[in-house]
């Protein structure tokens, strides 16, 4: 199994080493199985999925990841991207352009531009694209190297079993509120937030009670590996300890 895991919680422990972070938060994931870590570094208007407030990984974290053989997966999942905006982010993309790193995308045009200009990146279709049927999956696989399926499909074993190219599919190891969300209007609003143009409202289609009705869902990964899947995406496991620094640190 290979895992791409969240580094978002490291924002609370910026002095902690990556190896210590992985041992503390992802106790049951062998280091050799950590393919990449996804989180925010410097500010970019291409970010999506979560609002950007400050870096979650520092330059020293990225260097330690490289030393450990772990790639950086950049969450460029903004729904709204123009060619002009892409060009303003070229230096950002150049900084991390190396074999082993990857980008998570929603916008098909952005995928084409990055593939042409930065061929060393692995390009993955985000869960935000809601690729939930065979037609959408076939189309996505023509554009992207790998595809993250919606967490709701983890429970549709018949659909999963019928996928031929399972090695190009990433499944979530845990599910959050998105597993029962019918509209996912939060993602476009977070895309607008990350344009830094004054939009600060994060929308949600569900009341809190409905959103938290199932809590965090943990999937049995052995079921999927037996079917032929080996790529998994993991957010912070249940019960992960969050340590806040005693004093504020300047982010560089």
Lowest mean pLDDT among 189-193, 231-235, 236-240: 236-240
Rounded Cα distance, 134 and 137, in Å: 5
Domain presence at residue 81: yes
Q: Under a CB-based contact definition with an 8 Å cutoff, are residues 45 and 85 in contact?
A: yes
Share of the chain above pLDDT 70, in %: 84
Task: Band the pLDDT of 140: cuts 50, 70, 90.
Answer: very high
The number of domains in the chain is: 1
Rounded Cα distance, 76 and 108, in Å: 12
- Spatial CB neighbours of 42, under 8 Å, sequence gap ≥ 6: 55, 92
Domain presence at residue 244: no
Domain presence at residue 203: no
Nearest to 33 by CA among 252, 234, 211: 234
Mean pLDDT along residues 162-168: 96
Q: What is the extent of the structural domain holding 57?
A: 2-175+216-234
Residue 242 has pLDDT above 70, yes or no: no
Q: Under a CB-based contact definition with an 8 Å cutoff, are residues 1 and 34 in contact?
A: no
Phi and psi at 60, nearest 5°, equal: -65, -30
Residue 213 has pLDDT above 70, yes or no: no
The pLDDT value recorded for residue 243 is 47
Residue 103 has pLDDT above 90, yes or no: yes
CATH code assigned at 21: 3.20.20.80
Domain presence at residue 207: no
Domain presence at residue 180: no
The pLDDT value recorded for residue 245 is 36
The pLDDT value recorded for residue 197 is 77
Task: Band the pLDDT of 154: cuts 50, 70, 90.
Answer: very high
Task: Give the alpha-carbon dihedral of 131, 133, 137, 138, to 10 degrees.
Answer: -150
Residue 215 has pLDDT above 90, yes or no: no
Domain presence at residue 87: yes
- For 156, the token pair is 């549709």
Among 2-16, 45-59, 64-78, 230-244, top mean pLDDT goes to 64-78
- Spatial CB neighbours of 208, under 8 Å, sequence gap ≥ 6: none
Domain presence at residue 131: yes
Residue 91 has pLDDT above 70, yes or no: yes
Give one DSSP letter per residue of the chain, joined into a string: -EEEEE-GGGGG-TTS-HHHHHHHHSTTS-GGGEEEEE---S--TT--SS---S-SS-HHHHHHHHHTT-EEEEEE--S---HHHHHHTHHHHHHT-STT-EEEES-HHHHHHHHHH-TTSEEEE-GGG---SHHHHHHHHHH-SEEEPPGGGGG-HHHHHT-S-GGGEEEESEE-GGGG-SS-THHHHHHHHTTTSS------SS-HHHHTSS-SEEP-HHHHHHHT--EEEE-PPTTPPP---SS-----
Share of the chain above pLDDT 90, in %: 64
Residues in the chain: 252
Rounded Cα distance, 231 and 241, in Å: 25
Lowest mean pLDDT among 24-33, 175-184, 207-216, 243-252: 243-252
Domain presence at residue 198: no
Query: Mean pLDDT over all residues of the chain?
Result: 86
Task: Band the pLDDT of 109: cuts 50, 70, 90.
Answer: very high
């Amino acid at each position: 199994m290979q895992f791409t895991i969240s580094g978002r919680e490291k924002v609370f422990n910026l002095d902690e080493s990556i190896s210590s972070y992985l041992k503390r938060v992802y106790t049951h994931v062998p280091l050799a199985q950590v393919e990449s870590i996804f989180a925010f570094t410097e500010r970019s208007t291409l970010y999506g999925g979560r609002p950007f407030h400050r870096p979650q990984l520092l330059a020293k974290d990225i260097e330690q990841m490289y030393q450990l053989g772990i790639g950086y997966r950049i969450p460029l999942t903004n729904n709204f991207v123009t060619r002009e905006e892409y060009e303003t982010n070229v230096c950002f993309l150049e900084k991390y352009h190396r074999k082993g790193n990857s980008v998570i995308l929603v916008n098909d045009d952005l995928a084409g531009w990055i593939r042409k200009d930065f061929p060393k990146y692995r390009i993955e279709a985000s869960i935000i694209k809601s690729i939930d049927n065979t037609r959408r999956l076939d189309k996505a696989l023509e554009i992207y190297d790998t595809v993250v399926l919606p967490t709701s499909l983890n429970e549709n074993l018949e659909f999963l079993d019928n996928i031929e190219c399972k090695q190009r599919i990433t499944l979530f190891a845990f599910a959050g509120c998105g597993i029962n969300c019918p509209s996912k209007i939060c993602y476009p609003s977070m895309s607008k937030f990350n344009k830094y143009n004054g939009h600060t409202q994060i929308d949600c289609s569900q009341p809190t009670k409905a959103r938290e009705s199932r809590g965090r869902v943990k999937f049995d990964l052995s079921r999927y590996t037996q079917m032929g899947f080996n790529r998994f995406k993991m957010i912070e496991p249940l019960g992960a300890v969050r340590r806040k620094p005693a004093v504020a640190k300047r982010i560089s």
